[in-house]
Structure 1
């Protein structure tokens, strides 16, 4: 430990001639502590919300999604399908065909999207985990079946115990619209829904009906090789970037390969921007709290002005004296940062373990209590933020006041 640090610690802990100096020093430490605590908590809440929404999308979306860069559909014969299946890390592959459809039940009509999937869809997604009523059956030997989003079912007024089927009307791709008979430009089909799913995301729950891909191809007049996208299930999601690059090499430049965050790029960018803005706002508040260190350090330097003379007489130069008081001011910030981070870690653990802060309105939210997730890079970020701002806050009073005292001593 350097002599500057040892002297700074001694000055900081030593009894002051006026008790008000101790009080102001403690106020500075507490202010920094509250700022660091709040910053860590807010960042952890954003982490929790990010992962919560990611888990909701993950129950429906594949780990990797392959779509054509141009056009709505492509043929599986145009790609190296077998090579795609043999890529190490690819656990399962599903084909999907998606298009706009008008749903009708009784007198109610709702536009939406029909998603035709094959038998591997259950392996690639977690659709079974979000079935809230019925089952995830898409066909049997007699009827075409399907799964409705719960909000769409509510708009249509449909219930699984109804005998009347759900009608689907899809525009004919190969026919021109006759203004006199626009109804002839649609092909009709029906399903007997077997289940209702709930992703808790209105984009899915209010728009999608999942059917078997064979029925979707028949409705849309496509042959058996046409798909809108391919879904890939990874053996190890943590190694997704490596598999993604292999998939891109196998498919070539004409296809877009997206992970789950890239599939909802706008939403995740918005979440990242909100987190950044929250960090900047709280950092500004923390900066205001840290500037209390200026007044504290000014009084501490005034308290030790006679010691400056003693140190100078013992051979300490101006640089060493500056370093002593700069370290003392920095220690005040670090003490507050350490206490704030410690309390923040404790609060996060208590919230994760016991769910102390809960949402009001029991049963109306996806989760019962606020989700928080600790990431150590956030702890490091808060510590660095406090350290840098604390150093800058201490630098000005040290340079200004200590230099003035030192110059006065030289004139004596």
Structure 2
């Protein structure tokens, strides 16, 4: 009952006509400050969401949903795991085997170090490799000729073109032989492939390093038996089931094997993005806190404006706690009004950017996307609203408590 009375009186005080017009102006300035802070915080968090989603989609065109690796060693044998149960597991759509290692690429007179990735025929079902082919086709073998798909930056460094008949030479260290210091060239196995396509992930760690070849050719070059893989890639049937499928695979394979999702495959990068997002949230929250502290000045003037009303309420039997609650709610309403307006305006700006791409990159189409990527999540809306609510309450509580107690004491001494 007392809370309802306090709310009604607080709302009446806030919107009633003031004797000094400057108080109304300052009140609106306080609301506007909170509005701008809440809007800015929501927009910045949405930008980080957009960047996170954009980078994730780039990695998703090459990486599998889940990657199975041995905890120890570079390779393992598919015979050493329950492969049949893994293939038939609920939620698993496709599985691909991959063998990768370092090599030296040579095309004409140019030499570039990189990595060969031997993949099987299911690789295009597990990854989105077909969607990132910019020239030629993803083809690993044509009759008896082994072919390969090369990263865009790697092909550029080698001056490689698909219309050339010259093969791409591979110089790979002999895994089972010792290096003779007198003839180090004998420690390399020489082989070749015919380039069939060029892919572009728009990530240099892939585009400048990898060449995809058939897994049989990779095993031949590296002298591995037929069941050897560096890792297994898993395509999950339903993207929302990735974590549950990951847990099931981990339980099936046990501790000798590690199962990682896409974010864990690039743990350092995504952790760095999470830290940057957190720092942006903290910095903008401090700016928002400064804006909320304007409420203190507004409340001081409002309490001064209503000092006669405080006397009237006291004479009617109102306790100090009720008067304290009235002005505390009044200050909180100012913060919540600014938060609500800021969230609505921020959500509208994010929607406009998503729909129409109002803010675009300058550079004439040299970027992956034309407009700044943004993504609005309801968790961010809740986070910003709670941030404003809590800080607004704390900012109003102490000054209201001190000022009301002083006025109340003055009235008692009269």
Range of TM-score over shorter length: over 0.9
User: How much has 1:249 moved relative to structure 2?
Assistant: 1.3
User: How much has 1:107 moved relative to structure 2?
Assistant: 1.5
* Partner SS state of residue 189, structure 2: strand
User: How much has 1:245 moved relative to structure 2?
Assistant: 1.0
User: How much has 1:126 moved relative to structure 2?
Assistant: 0.5
Q: CA RMSD in A?
A: 0.7
Select which of 197, 200, 203 maps to 2:199: 197
* Partner SS state of residue 314, structure 2: helix
* Partner SS state of residue 144, structure 1: strand
Does residue 338 of structure 1 match 2:349? no
Distance across 2 between alignment mates of 1:249 and 1:331: 52
Select which of 69, 72, 75 maps to 2:71: 69
1:273 maps to which residue? 275
* Partner SS state of residue 372, structure 2: coil
- Where does structure 1 lack aligned partners over 5 or more consecutive residues? none
1:323 maps to which residue? 325
Select which of 181, 206, 217 maps to 2:219: 217
- Where does structure 2 lack aligned partners over 5 or more consecutive residues? none
User: How much has 1:213 moved relative to structure 2?
Assistant: 0.1
* Partner SS state of residue 168, structure 1: strand
Select which of 44, 54, 57 maps to 2:56: 54
User: How much has 1:240 moved relative to structure 2?
Assistant: 1.0
After superposition, residues 240-259 of structure 1 pair within 5 angstroms as 240-259=242-261
Distance across 1 between alignment mates of 2:390 and 2:111: 60
* Partner SS state of residue 2, structure 1: helix
Distance across 2 between alignment mates of 1:363 and 1:198: 16
Distance across 2 between alignment mates of 1:171 and 1:125: 28
Q: Which runs of 4+ in 1 moved over 4 A?
A: none
After superposition, residues 295-374 of structure 1 pair within 5 angstroms as 295-374=297-376
1:293 maps to which residue? 295
Distance across 1 between alignment mates of 2:228 and 2:216: 10
* Partner SS state of residue 147, structure 1: strand
Select which of 45, 49, 60 maps to 1:43: 45
Distance across 1 between alignment mates of 2:384 and 2:239: 29
Distance across 2 between alignment mates of 1:298 and 1:342: 28
User: How much has 1:142 moved relative to structure 2?
Assistant: 3.6
Does residue 29 of structure 1 match 2:31? yes
Distance across 2 between alignment mates of 1:161 and 1:241: 44
After superposition, residues 7-156 of structure 1 pair within 5 angstroms as 7-156=9-158
* Partner SS state of residue 330, structure 2: helix
After superposition, residues 385-396 of structure 1 pair within 5 angstroms as 385-396=387-398
* Partner SS state of residue 88, structure 1: coil
Distance across 1 between alignment mates of 2:314 and 2:110: 90
User: How much has 1:383 moved relative to structure 2?
Assistant: 0.3
1:173 maps to which residue? 175
Q: TM-score, normalised by structure 2?
A: 0.99
Residue-pair matches, total: 412
Cα shift readout 1:225-251 (whole Å, capped 9, x = no counterpart): 100000000001111111111111111
Distance across 2 between alignment mates of 1:362 and 1:344: 28
Distance across 1 between alignment mates of 2:408 and 2:83: 78
* Partner SS state of residue 163, structure 1: coil
